[in-house]
Every structure is written in structure tokens, then in C-alpha cells.
Amino acid sequence: MAASETSDVDARIARLEQQVKELYARIIALERLVGSGGLHDYDQATVRRKVEYDWQS
């Protein structure tokens, strides 16, 4: 009985790991399609303000 439960858990973990890999690949493909490999405009503005603030200090 315990071996059956262990194999069920192992199978579920294997399926979840495969799903994570597939989702990761899909995200990479979407980022390439959209061209959002860099920072979002809002993020760039935030970084720019932070750099200016640090420089003025």
C-alpha cells in the first residue's frame, strides 16, 4: 500500500515538473514574440529615478 502511494506521488511530481518545464518554454516563446525581453517602460523609469537619486546623494 505504501509503495503504491509513493509511486502515485512520484508520478504526480514528475507530471508537475513536466508542466513547469512546458510553462517556462511557453513564457520564453511569448517574451520573444512580444519582444519584452528587456525592462518594461515603468521599470526603466523607476531604475532611472533611482540612479538619479543615488547620483545626487
Which residues are CB-contacts of 31 (< 8 A; sequence separation ≥ 6)?
37
Which tens digits make up the pLDDT trace of 13-55? 999 999 999 999 999 998 888 875 566 777 878 888 888 777 7
pLDDT given at position 31: 83
Can you spell out the DSSP letters for 14-47? Answer: HHHHHHHHHHHHHHHHHHHHHT--S--HHHHHHH
Residue count of the chain, please give it. 57
Query: How far is 52 from 8, CA to CA, in rounded Å?
Result: 55
pTM of structure: 0.52
Query: How far is 44 from 23, CA to CA, in rounded Å?
Result: 26
